[in-house]
Amino acid sequence: MQILQYLINGISIGSVYAIIALGYTMVYGIAKMLNFAHGDIIMVGAYISFCVTSYLGLPAWVSVVAAVAVCTVLGIVIEGLAYKPLRGTPSLAVLITAIGVSYFLQNAAQLIWSSSPKNFTSVVTMKPISLAGGKIVVTGEVLLTVAACILVMVGLTLFTSKTRTGKAMRAVSEDRDAAQLMGINVNQTISTTFAIGSALAAVAGVLLCSTVPTLQPTTGSMPGIRAFTAAVFGGIGSIPGAMLGGILLGIIETFSKAYLSTQFSDAIVFSVLIVILLVKPAGLLGKQIQEKV
């Protein structure tokens, strides 16, 4: 029974990674850059939610809406100020800028909210469900997280395959220049992608801090790196890949903490990643690109 409980916990934390990884993977797919500040947007989202509930005393759902709104705008502003001027420059310049933005956000958060950890109150008020005579406990957070993850996944898939903007995104992701020559505004498309990715990060931030209630300026960085790993693991650029990678990563992490070692859980997670990448360099669902000779 214990193993089932670990599995549920793993899927839950994995769902959070999956939502973050979706943001990474979308931005990578369309803007062709690794936005290392993505993890810190999670932290900002969590802080906004915290402020709205704790300082303004508003209901939890309002705090989620506020977090999503602020992060969406933040994502668009960061892209416009920091990344857009670097369009067309070597990708290394953009990568370094992203790391800079990441530190900027962490330090700004430290200035505003101080470095002392805040106690985040869960946005879920539902009582945990006990199964199998109390041996398995499914908390409201777990249910909400998994539901949110499925909803986001289905929504994004429909969005990219059905809508006009989604099709434009796929076109830009495949061939930016050709898309531009077909009358697609590439800057606007990239901006929309950042907006969506950052909105997802806000949701992930609230879910993450509802499960692990300590909130500090560095809260987003480790989950951000794990989610990046998940995106690569599943095949970066692929939406189902990010989802699969995130959940698998969550499960592996929980199991290694439970059965092997709490301290080495990260080492184990990353070792699994290395092995997978050695066998399948494009990731689990990534497309192997055959170079024409």
Partner 1 sequence: MNEYSKKIVKVPTVNLFREQDKDKQPVLDVRNLGIDFGGLTAVDGFNITVGPTEISGLIGPNGAGKTTIFNLLTGVYQPTRGSVLINGVDIKGMPTHKVNRLGIARTFQNIRLFTDMTALDNVKVGMHHDIKCSFLGSLLHLPSYYKAEKKANEKAMELLDFMGLADVADVKAGSLPYGVQRRLEIVRALATDPSIILLDEPAAGMNPSETTELMHQIRRIRDTFHIAIFLIEHDMNLVMNVCEAIAVVNYGRLIAKGTPEEIRANPAVIEAYLGKEEGSADAEN
Q: 163 or 214: whose CB is closer to partner 1?
A: 163
Q: 119 or 163: whose CB is closer to partner 1?
A: 163
* 278 scored as a contact of partner 1 (CB under 8 A): no
DSSP the chain: -HHHHHHHHHHHHHHHHHHHHHHHHHHHHHH-S--TTHHHHHHHHHHHHHHHHHTS---HHHHHHHHHHHHHHHHHHHIIIIIGGGTTS-HHHHHHHHHHHHHHHHHHHHHHH-SSPEEPPPS--PPPEEETTTTEEE-HHHHHHHHHHHHHHHHHHHHHHHSHHHHHHHHHHH-HHHHHHTT--HHHHHHHHHHHHHHHHHHHHHHHHHHS-EE-TTTTHHHHHHHHHHHHHH-TT-HHHHHHHHHHHHHHHHHIIIII-STTHHHHHHHHHHHHHHH-TT-SSPPPPPPP-
* 168 scored as a contact of partner 1 (CB under 8 A): yes
* 65 scored as a contact of partner 1 (CB under 8 A): no
* 183-222: contacts with partner 1 (CB under 8 A): 183-187
* 171 scored as a contact of partner 1 (CB under 8 A): yes
Question: How many residues touch partner 1 (CB under 8 A)?
Answer: 23
CB of 180 to partner 1, least distance (A): 4
Q: 100 or 155: whose CB is closer to partner 1?
A: 155
CB of 178 to partner 1, least distance (A): 4
CB of 282 to partner 1, least distance (A): 14
* 76 scored as a contact of partner 1 (CB under 8 A): no
In the set 119, 175, 222, 281, which binds partner 1 (CB under 8 A)? 175
Binding site for partner 1 (CB under 8 A): 155, 159, 162-165, 167-168, 170-171, 174-175, 177-187
